[in-house]
Amino acid sequence: MAILTSRLSDPAVRAFVGAVNARDREGFLALLTPDATMSDDGSDRDLTDWIDREIFSTHGHLEVDNESDGGRALTARYSNDTWGEMRTRWRFTVADDGRISRFETGQA
């Protein structure tokens, strides 16, 4: 059973999931540090290209199944118009200012 986004422990991660599911690209980018990085299946990717291709142009959606590490590690069902639904893992690094400086995702 999915965890409601509003019940996620870490405020930055909660906002990240909320922005993905609301398709709020501007709000999503505001959650990231200016130099934020990301990786997919262990390979660093261009963040702007990746989020447009994998989230915002393809109706990405996260259903979180569990969280650990104080809410900064998630296992979730991720779906988009390109790949359908898959089980994924997410890990977040949150900077001192509360914004996300890195996220890593991949198949779980």
> Could you tell me if residue 1 is inside a domain?
no
The per-residue pLDDT for 60 is 97
Residues of the domain holding 44? 9-107
Q: Please report, for the domain that includes residue 16, its CATH number.
A: 3.10.450.50
The per-residue pLDDT for 7 is 97
> Could you tell me if residue 2 is inside a domain?
no
> Could you tell me if residue 44 is inside a domain?
yes
Query: CB–CB of 38/104 below 8 Å?
Result: yes
68-87 tens-digit pLDDT: 999 999 999 999 999 999 99
More confident residue, 1 or 74: 74
> Could you tell me if residue 63 is inside a domain?
yes
> Could you tell me if residue 3 is inside a domain?
no
pTM: 0.96
Average pLDDT over residues 32-53: 97
> Rounded CA gap, 37 and 70, in Å?
21
The per-residue pLDDT for 1 is 79
Average pLDDT over residues 24-34: 98
Average pLDDT over residues 12-19: 98
Q: Number of folded domains in the chain?
A: 1
> Could you tell me if residue 4 is inside a domain?
no
Of the candidates 73, 81, 82, 75, the one whose C-alpha atom is nearest the C-alpha of residue 102 is 73
